[in-house]
Amino acid sequence: MKSYFDSLVLGAVIAIGWVTSAQAALPIQQLDSYKGAKAYLVQTQSLPMLDIEISIDAGSRYDPTAKAGLASLTGELLNKGISSSKSNLTEAQIADQIADLGADINVGVTGERALIRIRCLSRPDIRDRAVQLARLMLSSPSYDPVVLNREKQRISAGLLEAETKPDFVLDRRFRKAVYGDYPLGNFLTVQSISGLSASDLKQFHQQFYRSDRVIVSMVGDVSQLEAQEIMQTLVRDLPQTGPTIPPLPQLARSPVENLSEREISIPFDSQQAHIAMGMTAVARNNPDYFPLMVGNYALGGGGFVSRLMNEVREQRGLAYSVFSYFAPGQETGIFQAGLQTKNDQASMALDVMTETISQFIAKGPNQSELDAAKANLINGFPLRIDNNRKLLDNVSSIVWNGLPLNTLDTWTEQVNAVTREQIEAAFQKYLAMDRMKIVVLGAKQ
């Protein structure tokens, strides 16, 4: 069944991937900026379709302390009613029109940004209608109090449901531990949602949904000229600028602490214990990105062949899923490792995970692990860019994170240049066992 949290999860997944890339044969074209908005295009002509992503710098990180959930609701309600001087559309009419076009127009909000994603046929009459709808959704949401109340009820119900699930409870507690007072540690709750009003949403929309905070990425069967028009149409009705938005605080590095201060135990009567370990790490534009990414492939990112997978699953049969990842964004992201195992194996599994990560930070990968990581990443590079959807993810990551537009052209070279020493140095620079937060959820043995 669909639930509100699906969209949050989707957002997290977008952020998690070490996605980068495009290729020399499919260059990213930078279009002329318009009203401060930026736009980028990769033309692919083999299928009569078009994917568009509109990123608005209006993610949950801007939630006021007492109004957690404001950014999410402001974004989630973009497709639930339009009220402009020229058109009024109910949520039902919007949904019917999208369906009549055979299009997808999805909205969602992550920690950093609000997103509208459009997939439609590239036939101009269809495409233009989809773009017009998205323009109205972006600039003129009605924020009907009746709809808002209903969505608040649904989100609250979803939250209460999620709080009975081990993975959700673990994830929230872990993120709270890592982010502390930083805005991304300030989660929406039943209480914070209940205080939000339609005028709060309107005000947030007015403040953050401005053309100078928008980036449009497009992939598909459209000319540069048409793409330029699409982008201008999308942002035409947005204000170009507005009152100054106060800068975000810096995310402080996870401090050195005694184990008792860093480790949190959550009693939970599930069959499995869930374990998370991690700390603050790096932003995507960090110069050590490639050593960290290649290193993490060897540690816990490389599917069935990582060191964590080998130690935890292959050697000991302790877990079905075990992983580690960096989640770098425009801002500093986190490093996280995790697994689930039956309750009476929790402390053993935690020991194995701790020892494996600790060893890796201390000594990095061995030469054969490095060779294997490079072989997979370089040989597998074409799989990162072999369809429109993947290309859009890549373009989006590159432009949102302010990376060079030729990032994909140099990607395999940069992977190939990584040395064992660089990985060891980078892991030691950013990660440290005496800074790792550890959360163990499960029944006490």
Pull the structure tokens for residue 436: 């790792």
281 forms part of the interface with other proteins (CB under 8 A): no
Residue of 12, 13, 48, 257 that binds other proteins (CB under 8 A): 48
* CB nearer to other proteins: pick between 150 and 363: 150
* CB nearer to other proteins: pick between 164 and 428: 164
Interaction residues for other proteins, span 290-309 (CB under 8 A): 302-305
* CB nearer to other proteins: pick between 37 and 273: 273
φ, ψ of residue 293 in degrees (nearest 5): -70, -45
Interaction residues for other proteins, span 53-92 (CB under 8 A): 79, 91-92
**7-46: b or e for each residue (b if 16 or more CB lie within 10 Å)?**
bbeebeebbbebbbbbbeebebbebeebbebbbbbbbbee
The one-letter amino acid code at 216 reads V
Region near other proteins per CB under 8 A, out of 227-235, 263-271, 281-289, 326-334: 263-271
386 forms part of the interface with other proteins (CB under 8 A): yes
Q: Least distance in Å: CB of 352 to other proteins?
A: 14
* CB nearer to other proteins: pick between 32 and 314: 314
Q: If we measure between CA atoms, which residue out of 279, 284, 305, 431 comes closest to residue 372? A: 305
Q: Least distance in Å: CB of 377 to other proteins?
A: 7
What's the chain's Rg over C-alpha atoms? 23
Interaction residues for other proteins, span 415-434 (CB under 8 A): none
Cα separation, 219 vs 38, in Å, equals: 15
φ, ψ of residue 105 in degrees (nearest 5): -130, 105
Region near other proteins per CB under 8 A, out of 232-240, 250-258, 382-390, 430-438: 382-390
Residue of 64, 380, 402, 404 that binds other proteins (CB under 8 A): 380
* CB nearer to other proteins: pick between 71 and 82: 82
Beta-strand runs (E) in 122-262: 214-220
Region near other proteins per CB under 8 A, out of 47-55, 232-240, 352-360, 423-431: 47-55
Q: Least distance in Å: CB of 34 to other proteins?
A: 28
Give Cβ neighbours of residue 315 (< 8 Å, ≥ 6 apart): none
* CB nearer to other proteins: pick between 278 and 301: 301
Q: Least distance in Å: CB of 305 to other proteins?
A: 5
Q: Least distance in Å: CB of 71 to other proteins?
A: 21
Interaction residues for other proteins, span 164-223 (CB under 8 A): 164-166, 169, 172-173, 176
The one-letter amino acid code at 379 reads N
Residue of 12, 13, 66, 160 that binds other proteins (CB under 8 A): 160
Q: Least distance in Å: CB of 32 to other proteins?
A: 28
Could you give the C-alpha distances from 353 to 241, 252, 366, 372, 430, in angstroms and in order?
A: 48, 25, 18, 21, 18
Interaction residues for other proteins, span 93-112 (CB under 8 A): 93, 95-103
Does residue 184 contact residue 443 with C-beta atoms inside 8 Å? no
| DSSP letters spanning 271-333 | SEEEEEEEEE---TT-TTHHHHHHHHIIIIISGGGSHHIIIIIITT---S-EEEEEE--SS--
Number of residues interacting with other proteins: please give it, by CB under 8 A: 83
2 forms part of the interface with other proteins (CB under 8 A): yes
Could you give the C-alpha distances from 119 to 8, 13, 43, 78, in angstroms and in order?
A: 20, 19, 15, 17
Q: Least distance in Å: CB of 331 to other proteins?
A: 25
| CB atoms near residue 296 (< 10 Å) | 25
Does residue 233 contact residue 52 with C-beta atoms inside 8 Å? no
445 forms part of the interface with other proteins (CB under 8 A): no
The one-letter amino acid code at 418 reads V
324 forms part of the interface with other proteins (CB under 8 A): no
244 forms part of the interface with other proteins (CB under 8 A): no
* CB nearer to other proteins: pick between 362 and 383: 383
Cα separation, 183 vs 48, in Å, equals: 42
347 forms part of the interface with other proteins (CB under 8 A): no
* CB nearer to other proteins: pick between 88 and 285: 88
